[in-house]
Each structure stands twice: as structure tokens, then as C-alpha cells.
């Protein structure tokens, strides 16, 4: 057997091996790509299923807080309880200051992360099991506090203001603070006394109080009559 023949046989074996490895690599890549697509599809299906489950459970899909419908149902029930007990009930409406500008600067994905962080922080500061924190709409959150007078509601509202700013979420587009802040409207009622009110009137008044807080400069707690700067504001 000549050396030339051995050389060509060896070369053919080497090339054959390389072709085999190349084909196997292509098959593996195709399989990995297929698995990645399948995982992506399954993840999307699970996300959709979770969102559907959250809606059925009365939860907001993004923050996992109570949604708008749950908020209204809960408020209606607590209003009736307050009427029976002649006790106070308070509502907080919480709006993220200059959130549209934040979204424009950082994008909606970062905006969603901001909403989740703020929702969690509000929840941390509303500690009683009988109270409710909800995502009311878009960038607005709401809190229902049963058996809570105005002083107690103010205290919690100021804590929330300071806690949100304490997150130190950068917001270079805000003219209020270098960080993300919130404005809060607070209203308290005793249904047995305010017999001409309905529970949704409480929401209307809380929105008016929120508007006053924003008009007064944001990053503060407000009522329809007066606005009080939040503790720790800048």
C-alpha cells in the first residue's frame, strides 16, 4: 500500500468525519432552536393563562394587586359595614407624578417594572389585613382603609409618599424630585353621619383631593380643602 493511497484514505476519513460533525451540529442547532421556540410558546401560553386567572380572581395582571372591579366591590361592602357600625372609612387615591414622561424616557417595559415596585411598596405600607390596595387605572392606585379616621389615613399616606421617594427610582424628567414620587388624595367619611353620600362619592372626593395635591406641586398628600407636604419630600 503506497503512502499516497494511505494519505488520500486518511483525508477522506477526516473529511467524512468533519461532514458528519457538521451535519450533527446542524441537527442539534435545529433541535435547540425548536425547543427554544416551544419554550417561548409555552411561556406565552402560561403568561396568558396566569393573566386570565388573575382577572377571574379579581387581580390586576401586572401588579397582582386587586383590580378596578375588585376595588369597587370591596369599597361597596366596607361602606355598608361602616354604615352598620357607624365607623369611619378612608380612601386614598395615589398617582405617580409625571409617569408619562418616565415612560417616554425609559420605555414601557421599565415603566411596568416601576409600577410593580410602587405597587409592592404601597402594599408594604398598608399593613392591616382588612385594608385593600388596588391598581385603580393605569398609573393610579387606590387604598380602602376600614375603621380609619382622617388622622390615621393621613399618617399612612405620608408614609407611602416618603417610601416611594425612598425607592430612589431615577426620574430625570421630573420637575418634582430626581426620583419617582407620588401625589395622594385622602378622604374620610362616616357613612352614618354623611347619609347623603354613596360609596362612589368617596372616590369622587378622593380624586378631587388628589387633583389638589397635584395642583399644589405634587409629591404630597392633599384634601379638597387643604394640601399638606409629605414627610421627607424634596
Regions of the chain short of the pLDDT cut 70: 1-3, 5-11, 44-45, 47-57, 194-197, 225-234
Residue 196 near residue 133 (C-beta atoms within 8 A): no
Cβ atoms 130, 146 nearer than 8 A: yes
- Counted domains in the chain: 2
Cα(90)–Cα(185) distance, integer angstroms = 10
Q: Measure the CA–CA gap between 121 and 109, rounded to whole angstroms.
A: 19
Q: Do 7 and 35 have their domain in common?
A: yes
Whether 62 is covered by a domain: the verdict is no
> How far apart, in whole angstroms, are the C-alpha atoms of residue 106 and residue 120?
20
Using DSSP's 3-state secondary structure scheme, residue 173 falls into coil
Q: Which grid cell is 150? A: 382622617
- Dist CA 29 CA 220 (whole Å): 56
Are 25 and 133 contained in the same domain? no
Domain of 18?
A: 1-56
Q: Indicate the burial class of 25 (C-beta count within 10 angstroms; 0-12, 13-18, 19 or more).
A: exposed
pLDDT tens digit sequence for 191-231: 888 666 677 789 999 999 999 999 999 999 998 753 344 44
β-bridge partners, 132: 144
Whether the full predicted model's pTM is greater than 0.85, yes or no, is no
User: 179 near 170, Cβ under 8 Å?
Assistant: yes
Q: Verify that 51 and 72 share a domain, yes or no.
A: no
pLDDT of the residue at 23? 79
Domain stops at, among 9, 24, 56: 56
Verify that 12 and 105 share a domain, yes or no.
no
111 and 18, same structural domain?
no
Amino acid at each position: 500500500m503506497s503512502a499516497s493511497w494511505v494519505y488520500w484514505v486518511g483525508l477522506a476519513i477526516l473529511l467524512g468525519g468533519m461532514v458528519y460533525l457538521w451535519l450533527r451540529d446542524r441537527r442539534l442547532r435545529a433541535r435547540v432552536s425548536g425547543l427554544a421556540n416551544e419554550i417561548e410558546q409555552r411561556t406565552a401560553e402560561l403568561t396568558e393563562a396566569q393573566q386570565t386567572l388573575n382577572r377571574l380572581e379579581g387581580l390586576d395582571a401586572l401588579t397582582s394587586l386587586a383590580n378596578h372591579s375588585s376595588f369597587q366591590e370591596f369599597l361597596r361592602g366596607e361602606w355598608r359595614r361602616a354604615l352598620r357600625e357607624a365607623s369611619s372609612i378612608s380612601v386614598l387615591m395615589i398617582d405617580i407624578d409625571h409617569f408619562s414622561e418616565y415612560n417616554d424616557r425609559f420605555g414601557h417595559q421599565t415603566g411596568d417594572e416601576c409600577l410593580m415596585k410602587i405597587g409592592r411598596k404601597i402594599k408594604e405600607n398598608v399593613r392591616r389585613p382588612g385594608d385593600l390596595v388596588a391598581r385603580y387605572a393605569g398609573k393610579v392606585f387606590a387604598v380602602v382603609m376600614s375603621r380609619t379616621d382622617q388622622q390615621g389615613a393621613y399618617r399612612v399616606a405620608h408614609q407611602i409618599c416618603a417610601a416611594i421617594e425612598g425607592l430612589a427610582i431615577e426620574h430625570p424628567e421630573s420637575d418634582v424630585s430626581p426620583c419617582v414620587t407620588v401625589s395622594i388624595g385622602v378622604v374620610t367619611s362616616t357613612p352614618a353621619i354623611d347619609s347623603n353620600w354613596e360609596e362612589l362619592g368617596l372616590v369622587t372626593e378622593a380624586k378631587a383631593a388628589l387633583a389638589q395635591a397635584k395642583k399644589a406641586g405634587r409629591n404630597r398628600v392633599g384634601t379638597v380643602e387643604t394640601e399638606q407636604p409629605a414627610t421627607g419630600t424634596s
